[in-house]
């Protein structure tokens, strides 16, 4: 699929593209700004996304809201 086809697809298609290691970096950058949280999460977990930092740490909430 071309970049514009991916960006204009259903969120599940965008999520899968965001997690795919063969997705071009410029497309990953756009997917990392997607309106759907699952798409952004997949892009954040893709090691080819600029700024990717692997983490084995637990997510701990330290403040009460």
Q: What is the pLDDT of residues 13-65, one digit of tens each?
A: 999 999 999 999 999 999 999 999 999 999 999 999 998 777 666 555 566 66
* Alpha helix ranges (H) inside 1-65: 3-7, 11-19, 25-31, 37-44
- Please tell me the predicted confidence (pLDDT) of residue 51: 86
pTM of the model: 0.80
- Please tell me the predicted confidence (pLDDT) of residue 65: 60
Tokens 């759907």 correspond to: 36
Q: How far apart are CA 15 and CA 56, in angstroms?
A: 22
State the burial class of residue 28 (Cβ atoms within 10 Å of its Cβ: 0-12, 13-18, 19+). Answer: buried
């Amino acid at each position: 699929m071309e970049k514009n086809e991916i960006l204009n697809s259903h969120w599940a298609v965008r999520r899968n593209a965001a997690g795919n290691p063969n997705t071009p970096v410029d497309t990953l950058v756009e997917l990392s700004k997607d309106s759907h949280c699952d798409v952004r999460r997949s892009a954040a977990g893709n090691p080819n996304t600029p700024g990717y930092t692997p983490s084995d740490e637990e997510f701990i909430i330290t403040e009460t809201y």
